[in-house]
Structure 1
Amino acid sequence: MTAGGDLRPPARLHLGGIAERVPEPRLRGRREEGEGLHVAHDPAPGSVVGLGILDGGGAALGCAVANSQAPTIDAIAACCARIDAMCAGLDEAGWHRPTALPAWDVKDVVGHLGSLESMLLGLDEPAHEPAAIAHVRNPLGHLNERMVDRRRSWSGADVLAEFRETTGLRLEQLRNLDEAALADEVPSPRGGVVGQGDFIAIRLWDYVVHELDIGEALGLDQDAAVDTPSGRRVLDEMLMLLPRGLAKGGATEGTCVALDIGPPLPRRTAASVQAGRGVPADPAAGKATLHLRASPVVFMRVASGRRDGATAIDCGEVVVDGDAELAARILTAMNVIP
C-alpha cells in the first residue's frame, strides 16, 4: 500500500504498553456473520429470563457465547464488509462528510478503525502530534486523534486500503487465538483490564457504532444498519445497561423505569432501584414510574454518546412519560463508550 508502509504481521500485540503473545495470522477467507446471542423462545407470560429484556415477540434475550469468540469475530468481519461497501465508491466530497464525532469526517472514522487495528497488530506508528485537540477528552482520545490526524493527508483510497489490510490481518489473528489466549487479560478502553475475549466483544461495539456514524453521515438507511446480527446484539447489550443508568443517573429508591424500543427491533426492558442499587425488573409487570420510548437507531445513538439525551427528549425522538430530566440523566449514564 502507498501510505501505510510495511504490514508484515508481528508476533506480539500491543495495547496500552502491555504486550501479549498472539499467533501470527495465516490468511484465509472471511466467515459469514453469525449470531452473538442465545435466544430463549416462548417464555411463560410475564416471565423474566436473563437480564429481563424481551423482544417484540416475547422472546428473552440472553448472553453472548461464553466459550468461543468466533461469532463475535465473524460479526466484526461483517461490519468491516459493510463499511467497505459504503466507502468503496466515495468521491472526495463523500469522504469529507462530517460525522456525529467532533471534528471527524467519514475518512477520519475509517482511518481510526484501520489505524487502531494496525496498533493492535503491533505495527509501528510514527510519532505525530495533531495541531488541534480541543475536542479530545481523555488519553485514549488523544491516542486516537494522533493516529487519525497523521492520516488526514492521505487520500480516501489509501485510508480504505489500510483499513482493508489491517482488519483482514487482525481478524485472522483473532481467529487463531486458542481458549487460553482468549482468557489472557489485556487493558480495556473502559478502564482496568478484561479478558482478551471480552476485549473482542468491546471491539464489536466500536465497529457497530462507527458503522452507524458512517451511514448517518452518508444519509443511508439506519434502520437497515441496526437490523443485522451485530446491530441486534449491540442493541441488546446496550439495553442491559439500564440498571447502571438508574444507579449513576440519580434515580431514587423505588424508582422503576421501563424502556421500549420500537420497530424494526421491538424490545422492552425495565429496571428499578432497590437498596440503593439499580437492578433488572420485570418488563411485563407494568409498575414503571418512568417510561421511555425510542426507535432502535435513536436509542443506540444516544446510548453511544452520539446524540445528547436531553436534546433527543426535547425534540421528541425519545418520548418520556414522567420526569424528563431524570430520563436524560439515565440515558447519559448508560453510555460506556469513552
Structure 2
Amino acid sequence: MGTTLQLDDVVTDLEEVWERLLEIGQEIPESKWTHPTACPSWSIADNFAHIVGTEAMLAGEPRPNIAGVDMSIVKNPIAEMNQHWVESMRSSSKTEILDRLSKLKETRSKRLRSMTPEEWETLGPSPVGQAPYARFMQIRVFDCYMHEQDIRQAADLGFHPYGGAAERSLAEITPAMGFVVGKKANAPKGSIVRFVISGGQNSTFDVKVGDRASVSYDLDSSPTTVLEIGFLAFTRLIGGRSDDGADYLTRVTVSGDNALGERVLTNLNYLI
C-alpha cells in the first residue's frame, strides 16, 4: 500500500542502492564503461556521473560550469544542472568516479542519519517542487534505482526488481498514475483504470477518474480498462527509456477499453 518516509527506512534504501551501484561498477569492464544506455544520450559512465553529481550537490559542492554543455538534450533547469555535472566528469576514469561515489556514500549517509526530525520534514526545493526533505530523499532512491537499471541493462548484468529500493520506487511512482490517467491520457470522467503490477514487485490499484483522477486500493468497482504489466516494463515506460524491442515489453496486456488502455501506456512517461 506504500512505504513510510521514516528517516531510517529511506536512508537504508538509499544505502542499499548506492552499495549495489558500487558493486556493479566494479564488475563492469573498462571496455563497457562508455557503452550507451537506454537513458537518452548517456553512457554507463554518464549514469554514474549523474548520481555522483547529484549527491555531491546535496553534500554542498558547487555545481561545475562547463562551457559548451550539450543543450540539445536539456529540457529544463534540472536537466541542465545534471548535464553540467555529467560533462564535468567525462574525462574521469572509472576508478575516479567509483571512488568519488564511495566517499559520497559515506558522507551523505552520515549526514542523513544525523538529521533531526525537524530537518527531515523541512520544506524545500525538489524535482517535484516544494516538498519535505523526506520526500526528496525518496525521489533520490527512485532516481538512483532507475539509473541502476539503465546501467545493468547496458552492461548485460540483468535487472534487479527486488529489495527496499525497488519497493520504494514503486511507492514513488504509483501516486503519479492519477496525473498520467486523468491529465496525460485524458481518461473520461467515470473511468476506472486498473493496474496489475507483477514481477519482483506486486501491486494492484485503480485510478478512478472523477473531478480529478486519484489512486485507490479499494477494488470495489468494475474497471473500464485493465493494464497487466511487469514491474520492469512499468518502470522503463514511465521513465521513457528507449528499450524498443525488449522482450519484457511484449508482456504488457490490455483488456476492456483497449483504446483507453493504449492511451495510458503511450503516456506513462511522466518524468522530467
Distance 2:106 2:266 in 1: 34
In structure 2, runs of 5+ residues without a counterpart are none
Instruction: State whether structure 2 residue 71 is matched by structure 1 residue 71.
Output: no
Could you give the per-residue CA deviations for residues 195-239 of structure 1, whole angstroms, max 9, x where no partner exists?
1122111111111111111111112221xx111121022123323
Distance 1:281 1:195 in 2: 23
Instruction: State whether structure 2 residue 66 is matched by structure 1 residue 128.
Output: yes
Larger radius of gyration: 1
The equivalent residue for 1:105 is: 43
Give, as a single letter, the amino acid of the residue that structure 1 aligns with 2:228.
R
The equivalent residue for 1:17 is: none
User: Aligned pair in 2 of structure 1 residues 99, 87: CA closer, same or farther (>3 Å)?
Assistant: same
Give, as a single letter, the amino acid of the residue that structure 2 aligns with 1:251.
A
Partner of 1:97, secondary structure, is coil
- Check the 8 A contact 1:226/1:297 in 2, yes or no: yes
Residue 143 (structure 1) shift: 0.9
**Which range moves more in the overlay, 243-252 or 279-288?**
279-288
The equivalent residue for 2:238 is: 303
Which TM-score applies when normalising by structure 2? Answer: 0.89
Instruction: State whether structure 2 residue 73 is matched by structure 1 residue 139.
Output: no
The equivalent residue for 2:180 is: 245
User: Aligned pair in 2 of structure 1 residues 285, 72: CA closer, same or farther (>3 Å)?
Assistant: same
1:212 aligns with one of 124, 149, 152:
149
User: Aligned pair in 2 of structure 1 residues 118, 263: CA closer, same or farther (>3 Å)?
Assistant: closer
The equivalent residue for 1:203 is: 140
- Check the 8 A contact 2:50/2:85 in 1, yes or no: yes
The equivalent residue for 1:262 is: 198
Query: What fraction of aligned residue pairs are identical, expressed as a percent?
Result: 26
Distance 2:107 2:62 in 1: 15
Partner of 2:47, secondary structure, is helix
- Check the 8 A contact 2:28/2:155 in 1, yes or no: no
The equivalent residue for 1:4 is: none
User: Aligned pair in 2 of structure 1 residues 311, 284: CA closer, same or farther (>3 Å)?
Assistant: farther
- Check the 8 A contact 1:72/1:200 in 2, yes or no: yes
Which TM-score applies when normalising by structure 1? Answer: 0.73
**Which range moves more in the overlay, 75-84 or 156-165?**
156-165
2:254 aligns with one of 277, 300, 320:
320
User: Aligned pair in 2 of structure 1 residues 132, 241: CA closer, same or farther (>3 Å)?
Assistant: closer
Partner of 2:41, secondary structure, is coil
Higher relative helix content: 2
Distance 1:332 1:146 in 2: 30
RMSD: 2.4
User: Aligned pair in 2 of structure 1 residues 113, 264: CA closer, same or farther (>3 Å)?
Assistant: closer
Distance 2:202 2:138 in 1: 23
Distance 1:89 1:320 in 2: 38
Residue 332 (structure 1) shift: 5.5
Could you give the per-residue CA deviations for residues 79-118 of structure 1, whole angstroms, max 9, x where no partner exists?
0110111011322222112111111011101111111111
Partner of 2:148, secondary structure, is helix
User: Aligned pair in 2 of structure 1 residues 220, 324: CA closer, same or farther (>3 Å)?
Assistant: farther
- Check the 8 A contact 2:161/2:199 in 1, yes or no: no
Residue 63 (structure 1) shift: 4.2
Distance 2:28 2:214 in 1: 46
User: Aligned pair in 2 of structure 1 residues 252, 153: CA closer, same or farther (>3 Å)?
Assistant: same
- Check the 8 A contact 2:15/2:109 in 1, yes or no: yes
The equivalent residue for 1:278 is: 213
Distance 1:237 1:203 in 2: 10
Could you give the per-residue CA deviations for residues 265-309 of structure 1, whole angstroms, max 9, x where no partner exists?
3321112212x311334564461111111111001111222258x
Could you give the per-residue CA deviations for residues 173-198 of structure 1, whole angstroms, max 9, x where no partner exists?
111110111122221112x3111122
In structure 1, runs of 5+ residues without a counterpart are 1-60
Residue 336 (structure 1) shift: 4.3
Partner of 1:123, secondary structure, is coil
